[in-house]
Structure 1
Amino acid sequence: MTDQLAHTSAREELKSYIERIERIVEEIVALKDGQRVLFAEAKAKGYDTKAMRRIIKRRQKGPNEIAEAESIDGTYMHALGMQADNPLHVQVARLVRDGMSRDQVIEAFQLLIPRSGEIIASVGGTPMRLWRTEDGKACAEDYVPPLFEQFMSKRKPT
Structure 2
Amino acid sequence: MSVATTEGRELLSSYIERIERIVEEIVALKDDQRVLFAEAKAKGFDTKAMRRIIKRRQKDQGEVTEQESIDGIYMHAIGMTSEHPLHAQVKRLTADGIGREQVIEALQLLIPVNGEIIASVGGHPMRLWRTADGKSFAEEYVPPPFQDFMNKRKAS
- The interval holding the TM-score normalised by the smaller chain is 0.5 to 0.7
1:102–1:29: structure 2 CA closer, same or farther, 3 Å change rule? closer
Cα deviation code 1:33-86 (max 9, x no counterpart): 110011011111111111111111122123212111111111121122112220
1:93–1:19: structure 2 CA closer, same or farther, 3 Å change rule? farther
In structure 2, runs of 5+ residues without a counterpart are 127-140, 149-154
Counterparts of 1:1-158 in structure 2, within 5 Å, are 7-93=5-91, 100-101=100-101, 104=104, 111-113=116-118, 123-124=121-122, 126=123, 132-133=143-144
- Aligned-residue CA RMSD in angstroms? 3.9
The farther-off stretch of 86-95 and 19-28 is 86-95
Amino acid at match of 1:81: G
Extract structure 1 runs of 4+ deviating beyond 2 A: 90-105, 126-137
Amino acid at match of 1:34: D
Return the offset for 1:89: 1.3
TM-score, length basis structure 1: 0.60
Cα deviation code 1:107-153 (max 9, x no counterpart): 979x425xxxxx7x5x45x596978436689xxxxxxxx9xxxxxxx
Partner of 2:5: helix, strand, or coil? helix
Amino acid at match of 1:101: E
Distance 1:21 1:59 in 2: 28
TM-score, length basis structure 2: 0.61
Question: Identity, % of aligned pairs?
Answer: 58
1:12–1:99: structure 2 CA closer, same or farther, 3 Å change rule? farther
Partner of 1:47: helix, strand, or coil? coil
Indicate conservation of the 8 Å contact 2:41/2:47, yes or no. yes
Of the two structures, which has the highest relative contact order with CA contacts closer than 8 Å and spacing of 6 or more? 2
Distance 1:136 1:92 in 2: 25
Radius of gyration: which is bigger?
Answer: 1
Count the aligned residue pairs: 125
Distance 2:3 2:50 in 1: 54
Distance 1:135 1:77 in 2: 34
Return the offset for 1:19: 0.9
